[in-house]
Structure 1
């Protein structure tokens, strides 16, 4: 257990140091479930209009923005982060590593775009900031609707962890 937490802590630290490579983690395939994808520039449609979207796109967009901001905020309690991550209960070790990382305390995310891929999925463009300064602008991830809550996808978090080269249970 201690070795797994240490590996998770190292992965979290590496994520903060290696985040510029995240942009290379996206692909051009349509998002399904929790797959990381590219999004179109603001003002352009990334998906066909028949791709579907939630009943209230404005409310969903606001919730995604709010939840992503909270998820990447060091002041958000671990129990709340679990609720903001897809399959969060299964990802507790990874989340605990983020909470224990001193650099994570200065890391935040600013959502800059949301493009719905379905009624329960969205591509999210965000800036990863450290101390308010952009460390990784125009990052791409996904949000999924799970248990009536828009959450950061496991695929997004694991994409960040994967950059570290460390294998963490759950990713």
Structure 2
């Protein structure tokens, strides 16, 4: 008998693992350009910028360093992102942004699908983006929510912390502590 709950959980684990993974030799884009392609007016709209950066963050071909740069408080998650670097599922993971709702000039709500081999694995996921140093980034709370689905959220996901320099947290949004330095 097919157990839908078990299958859904396994699919979530695989999808989140693949989202974090960056397979060796994946992608040739060494640039750190995290800005969206400009609209007809020359500057990207909020929707364009959020969509490009969200999808790039969740793309299995994006390097760990680029993912860290596209994540709010990214350095605090470096170990978690790099730990998945050798996953063979990396090439098949991606995300498709289906809606961006601007809250204010620095915050947006994002609805997205997690894709596995181009097919939806987790549809209608709710997340958010925040502007940090003039770049739209995936919020730490969005990333932590997906890691929690996997059952492997790092301690940084539960630790309160000061706000990211250059950004103000969305009302009610959790923050994360910076990674301890050695």
CA distance in 1, matches of 2:50, 2:86: 25
Aligned CA distance change for structure 1 residues 62 and 93 (closer, same or farther; 3 Å): same
* 8 Å CA contact retained: 1:15, 1:161: no
Write 1 or 2 for the structure with the bigger share of helix. Answer: 1
Q: Which has the higher contact order (CA 8 A, sep 6+)?
A: 1
Structure 1: gaps of 5 or more residues: 1-12, 20-56
Per the TM alignment, residue 15 of structure 1 is displaced from its structure 2 partner at its CA by: 4.9
Please list every run of at least 4 consecutive aligned residues from structure 1 whose deviation after the TM superposition is greater than 6 angstroms. none
- What is the RMSD of the two structures over their aligned residues, measured on CA atoms? 2.3
Out of 147, 150, 160, the residue aligned to residue 133 of structure 2 is 147
TM-score by length of 1: 0.65
Out of 80, 97, 104, the residue aligned to residue 111 of structure 1 is 97
Out of 74, 77, 80, the residue aligned to residue 91 of structure 1 is 77
Per the TM alignment, residue 97 of structure 1 is displaced from its structure 2 partner at its CA by: 2.7
CA distance in 2, matches of 1:105, 1:16: 16
Question: Counterparts in 2 of 1:11-22, with a 5 A limit?
Answer: 15-17=12-14
What residue in structure 2 maps to residue 67 of structure 1?
Answer: 53
Aligned residues: 123
Which of these two proteins has the greater Rg computed from alpha carbons? 2
CA distance in 2, matches of 1:95, 1:115: 27
